[in-house]
Amino acid sequence: MIQLSEDELIKSKKLIALKKKSGTHSPSFHAIRKLGINVDIDGCFLSNPYATDLFIDYMNKDLIETNKLRKYIELYPSQNTRIAHSLSKRLNISSEYLFIGNGAIEIIQAILHRYVKGKIAIPIPTFSSYYEFLTDETTACFYQLSKENNYKMDIDKYINYIDENKINNALIINPNNPDGGYIPQDKLVYALESLKHLDTVILDESFIHFAKNGDNSLVRNEELIKKFPNLFIIKSLSKDFGIAGIRCGYAVVNPDVTNKLLSNGFLWNSSGLSEYFFNLYSENKFYSDYLLVREKYINETEDMFLSLSKLKGIKVLPSNANFYLIELTDGTLSSTLYAKLMIKYGIYVRNCSDKIGLKGQYIRLASRSKEENTQILKAFRELYS
């Protein structure tokens, strides 16, 4: 069992106070450094660093060396439908099915506020915005994923829960956050069939590019959305493309939804750089470069999992995302490990003590660059040898 020194205990109390001020999300790196804690590695941050390198390379070449950046700063970006048109080339789906968001979070908000009324089934643990952003007209019905089953989704049980409680909206996150649990495609289609009578089914695929079994979402989007008019597929591009700062996300939805949303808003909700990204994403050269850094990152993430799994005193849950949910099985409190990693090793992880639906002591650890993962592993080995 890990324990804190006296000095670590004092700093730990400051961390707890800081977290309280930050709501259900993590305090920023910057805010932590202000406490005098020298944090170096952001194991909280769910983003492929190699994809950021790639984007920065392209941006340097396309915009900075050519002085074209000014244009992206000065001018109004294109309207939603035009950017959707660029994206449609990559996804091979007609642009009327695509709605572009200022980050996936804008789309989550739009759908929850405008399409979800009554009850919504939310499997927990989950990403907190899915219940925090609900309006007064909606009740969250929490479906507890089973700890014994590593929080994996059991589709039949979920469908039963929805039926029994007469719930009219449902959320599925695949892979799920914070555990990375993955629903294979055939089961997903089975779930959508079974939930066809609901008002809405939200399928959040923000982490799908990290799924080891390959990214099938690009081929099946059109087929699914045509078959299930109540389906809303949400996709963040912040994580897989390493570009959280430029706020890119999209939804694949029924054209009625796109038309309705655009009929009285969301006209210019992309930034210039977001438009640049969507254009880049439609280019084959960039895309093939991206697939390489994606694969590299997935492989390194898998290596980290294998190494962490060998340690005693922690249980690393199987994940198809770029992070691991880790249960502390030796009696250590998650807040203690969180503080120890931060203060002694400069490693910032997500203390999951505030995540509803998690039963036990958990932290969530993101995969970073190979060098950073090596340092993270070194710290874990020291603590759990």
What residue ranges bind a second copy (CB under 8 A)? Answer: 25, 28-29, 45, 47, 49, 52, 55-56, 59, 64, 69-79, 102-103, 105-106, 109, 112-113, 129, 132-135, 238, 242-247, 264-274
Shortest separation between residue 87's beta carbon and a second copy, angstroms: 18
In this complex, which beta carbon is closest to a second copy, that of residue 109 or of residue 335?
109
In this complex, which beta carbon is closest to a second copy, that of residue 57 or of residue 223?
57
In this complex, which beta carbon is closest to a second copy, that of residue 213 or of residue 264?
264
In this complex, which beta carbon is closest to a second copy, that of residue 181 or of residue 249?
249
Phi, psi of 267 (to 5 degrees): -75, -45
In this complex, which beta carbon is closest to a second copy, that of residue 87 or of residue 261?
261
In this complex, which beta carbon is closest to a second copy, that of residue 25 or of residue 227?
25
Find the radius of gyration of the CA atoms of the chain.
Answer: 21
In this complex, which beta carbon is closest to a second copy, that of residue 11 or of residue 239?
239
Shortest separation between residue 63's beta carbon and a second copy, angstroms: 10
Which residues contact residue 163 at a Cβ distance below 8 angstroms, ignoring those fewer than 6 apart?
A: none
In this complex, which beta carbon is closest to a second copy, that of residue 106 or of residue 215?
106
Shortest separation between residue 73's beta carbon and a second copy, angstroms: 5
Shortest separation between residue 194's beta carbon and a second copy, angstroms: 29
Shortest separation between residue 89's beta carbon and a second copy, angstroms: 17
Shortest separation between residue 49's beta carbon and a second copy, angstroms: 8
Residue by residue, DSSP assigns 197-264 as: TSSEEEEE-TTGGG-TT---HHHHHHHHHHH-TTEEEEEE-TTTTT-GGG-EEEEE--HHHHHHHHHT
CA dist 42 and 130 (Å) reads 24
Contact 282, 90 (CB under 8 A): yes
Shortest separation between residue 348's beta carbon and a second copy, angstroms: 13
Shortest separation between residue 125's beta carbon and a second copy, angstroms: 19
Shortest separation between residue 224's beta carbon and a second copy, angstroms: 27
In this complex, which beta carbon is closest to a second copy, that of residue 144 or of residue 279?
279
Number of H helices, E strands in the chain: 15, 13
Shortest separation between residue 369's beta carbon and a second copy, angstroms: 12
Contact 223, 92 (CB under 8 A): no
Burial label for 185, CB within 10 Å (0-12, 13-18, 19+), is: middle
> Quick one: tokens of 375?
């340092």
What sign does the CA torsion over 208, 209, 210, 216 have?
A: positive
Long-range contacts, stretch 380-383, CB < 8 angstroms, 24+ apart: 380/308, 380/311, 380/314, 381/311, 383/2, 383/313, 383/337, 383/340
Residue 343 region, left (φ>0) first, then alpha (ψ -120 to 50), else beta? alpha
Contact 184, 174 (CB under 8 A): no
In this complex, which beta carbon is closest to a second copy, that of residue 175 or of residue 249?
249
User: Among 94, 81, 140, which residue's Cα sits nearest to residue 116?
Assistant: 140
> Quick one: tokens of 351?
């203390």
